[in-house]
Structure 1
């Protein structure tokens, strides 16, 4: 009896143990499923950890045309009406056009995990509030460009779902982040940076497709080898070329060397010389080029940055925009062998992010006044709007706020004043703070 009782007890205990294990496994499966679907059944099925079958988040509202549309000759021109474009010196085009263009440029447009949590709204994400202040500034520009340092790939995990991928930060945002870029006034973004391969070629493809859906032009990553490596805008009679390069790429081993150079604009002296030549052949009179370089989280400029900046200037670039350090760095003019003065912003810092240090959250909008006189195009004036990113401001999350009191009905705060001073100290004396008249 004792032996039989002992056997029955062991059998019962083993069965309970097995059932607990089965229950725990089923619970883990259910929790994982609910997490992957964001509790909305958005994912149909996950093939593996890196490739998801699900739909992208839909635009928050109907997406209208950008103010620039691509003409048949490969040049973006402003749209005047539904059936009329500004054309250069054409019989049907305007005769007296102002030969000056105001271009505004930003640093790293990021969409990290905390930003995504802060933008969660029912069954979607709304990021528009981040740009409610700068929208006013951008409205006074003829062209707005920034560095989009995130994917918008629904077939990859978003950052709030997977912060780290194979030991590196995963930068991938819901597509409604592009609603915010259109809301704020961005015309174009550059996409060559160290996170452009975070989602592999699927990430590049889906990000480009989403940018096309939102009518935001991009340069730096490509789906085909024969696509021009520049954007070309005609702005008030001035043709402006935009280029994009990166010196760092996470997961570059996921592509062969040939494919990498086909689909991502990797920096080299030769590639810049080639692209500048091609852009000028297509009609570019003024060239702005981004380069993703330097060391993160420092205001120190490396010898390699200085050498590559000189090479870019000598190749014919007129304004150099640095990204990647996630904080501002000094602005300088570089004198070339043909006596041109080339503005170099070694780093524009983060335009928006949820990174935590003061340096990460001090930022600017660069304002360039480009003019055309006697057939020659040059940079007449440069200045900047000082800004600070706040995790919470006026009950809004991760909002980019101008430090100038003119944007706050004549009022200011200690935080805004301190940010303005830090920005001035880092940038140096090459460019001055810009203040709108009136």
Structure 2
């Protein structure tokens, strides 16, 4: 019996050894197979490419608000004015703009202190926008209450926002930084305004609005270097692929940037910004790549879009006597990440020239944003349903303005977005 028991123990031990050998061999084979997500497979991955769409100022002057109203249903809709360009927004992996109004509930108002219907936020989400900056010179038009309710509505509509905050805790939680997934590429967004049209932010609500000037109710000419440096450092600590700063700056109705914008841009780039997306001028301003020399002698570069003008507004040469106030563009930035090096770059730039067409007070759907190249092609093909001779002249002028200000080489020349029926 004792010998039999010993044989059983030896046999059991042998089986255990065989089983362990099988397990080790299996694990070794799995390791050599280099499953997805392993270092070996990452070396063979293709670059990640995504599109960030950038748009200009979204406004709702009183004529726009009135046009959006449907008396039969007692509701508002801005969707008709976006119908010709929504495919470009939808085609992007991520789309951003400057939201230059408040959502403080009725009564609604236009210039100089804006308040639009909540429908504007929901309609922007419907056509594909993902994030808006709420830091601009109209942020305080309806006081802190208006600022806070605007954020409530944007949240309800599903639109991310950056630049304004309801509580100190909301700001402190991420130091004013929103991290977005742009088609597999991580981008940290920050938002700032030069000022508030002289409306002071309440002392006990200082956290509520990001300003890049310390003298934001006065000359607006003293850069808050400490704040910017601290918040950009925090953004860098997050390890995102890119850092984008949405900034409200410059001089209204000027089609070129000024020296202070360049100074601010250089400071932002030197402290980590890769993309600077500007607004406020209500007319387009140039695109450029700026390179700055750091204290250690090395250099950093960043892409600067000084302004894209009004994405939608009631402004035009006829209403404000300023050229190009109805001329704008959708800027498409192709971002590419190299998985081998981890480096992310702006690999391609193009824009879609647009005209905000005001068709007159007695026309249904008074405001329509037209894809300039597509509308010109339609006119030349003999379709004058929307594009009359007079509208064609406006389209040609808008196209000339975009080419002169933004650069003709970046024009998409009317190529529709992939998968679009436009």
TM-score if structure 1 supplies the norm length? 0.72
Question: Which residue does the alignment assign to 1:76?
Answer: none
Q: Of the candidates 38, 56, 80, which is equivalent to residue 107 of structure 1?
A: 56
Structure 2 contact 55–331 (Cα < 8 Å) conserved: yes
Question: Which residue does the alignment assign to 1:348?
Answer: 308
Whole-Å separation in 2 of the counterparts to 1:383 and 1:139: 16
Whole-Å separation in 2 of the counterparts to 1:404 and 1:255: 46
CA RMSD of aligned residues (A): 2.5
Change (3 A) 1:129 1:408: farther
Question: Which residue does the alignment assign to 1:143?
Answer: 94
Question: Which residue does the alignment assign to 1:170?
Answer: 113
Higher relative contact order (CA 8 A, sep 6+): 2
Equivalence map 1:279-294=2 (5 Å): 279-294=235-250
Q: Matched residue of 2:190: which SS?
A: strand
Displacement after TM superposition at 1:407 (Å): 8.4
Larger helix share, 1 or 2:
2
Question: Which residue does the alignment assign to 1:227?
Answer: 173
Change (3 A) 1:252 1:406: closer
Q: Of the candidates 241, 247, 251, which is equivalent to residue 194 of structure 2?
A: 247
Whole-Å separation in 2 of the counterparts to 1:175 and 1:305: 33
Displacement after TM superposition at 1:237 (Å): 2.7
Structure 1 contact 198–251 (Cα < 8 Å) conserved: no
Whole-Å separation in 1 of the counterparts to 2:253 and 2:397: 19
Whole-Å separation in 2 of the counterparts to 1:356 and 1:416: 13
Displacement after TM superposition at 1:254 (Å): 4.8
TM-score if structure 2 supplies the norm length? 0.74
Q: Matched residue of 2:98: which SS?
A: strand
Alignment of 1:264 onto 2:242: no
Change (3 A) 1:425 1:336: same
Structure 1 contact 197–251 (Cα < 8 Å) conserved: no
Alignment of 1:398 onto 2:393: no
Displacement after TM superposition at 1:273 (Å): 2.2
Whole-Å separation in 2 of the counterparts to 1:115 and 1:316: 39
Structure 2 contact 252–281 (Cα < 8 Å) conserved: yes
Equivalence map 1:184-223=2 (5 Å): 184-223=127-166
Q: Of the candidates 319, 339, 356, which is equivalent to residue 299 of structure 2?
A: 339
Q: Name structure 2 gaps, 5 residues minimum.
A: 1-35, 213-223, 318-322, 382-386
Equivalence map 1:86-125=2 (5 Å): 99-122=48-71, 123-125=74-76
Q: Matched residue of 1:421: which SS?
A: helix
Structure having the higher Rg: 2
Q: Matched residue of 2:284: which SS?
A: coil
Change (3 A) 1:408 1:208: farther
Alignment of 1:380 onto 2:336: no
Q: Cα deviations across residues 238-287 of structure 1 (Å, max 9, x unaligned)?
A: 1111111001113532512x633x11011133333222221222232111
Question: Which residue does the alignment assign to 2:108?
Answer: 158
Question: Which residue does the alignment assign to 2:13?
Answer: none
Displacement after TM superposition at 1:96 (Å): 6.7
